[in-house]
Amino acid sequence: MKTLTLLRHAKSSWDDPVARDFDRALNKRGIRGARLMGEYIRREGLDYDHIISSPAVRCTETLDHLYEGLGRTFHPNWDRRVYLASCVTLLDVVNEAPDSAAHILMCGHNPGLEDLILLLVPDVAGDILRDAVEEKLPTAALATLQFDVDHWADVKSNSGRFMRLKRPRDLDPGLGPDIDG
């Protein structure tokens, strides 16, 4: 059994001019959302064997603030392929993960993460979690999928099942869709 948790980076700022999209930082709402998600992970007792993240500033800062809420740090594997990757590239990254890891956390970007979830989880009538992601995977949202496989290389399209979807607005309505992009 393998478990994959996907974390979309927290809300970033478009107000500060930066030379490259890669360098965009989080805004105040993003910082608050990332900390809140860290607190949620701590309360739920979630643990990850392996962390993979885009090295973009908004992902590194998301993890930094997530750690503040969690109360401890992880040591992510920075993988430039995750930066603005398609779902196919993200699946390649998952397929190459070490089999020693039972639960992976991947921090990245949309639309790739959203598309990866929709690729991996079959479209079944009444799946409210998948339907919610089909509508939108908001910033700082955490989606957990499970696969009945022993090797990450065996994770394929339509092979996963949704276990959890938690959005910042589920924890604090002030982070709802009117301000969450």
Task: Establish whether 20 is an annotated binding residue.
Answer: no
Terminal-residue alpha carbon distance, the chain: 33
| Separation CA 157–CA 72 (nearest Å) | 33
Q: What is the SS3 string spanning the chain?
A: CEEEEEEECCCECCCCCCCCHHHCCECHHHHHHHHHHHHHHHHHCCCCCEEEECCCHHHHHHHHHHHHHHCCCCCCEECHHHCCCCHHHHHHHHHCCCCCCCEEEEEECCCHHHHHHHHHCCCCCCCHHHHHHHHCCCCCCEEEEEECCCCHHHCCCCCEEEEEEECHHHHCHHHCCCCCC
Q: Please give the annotated binding residues, written as ranges.
A: 58
Annotation: binding site for substrate: 58
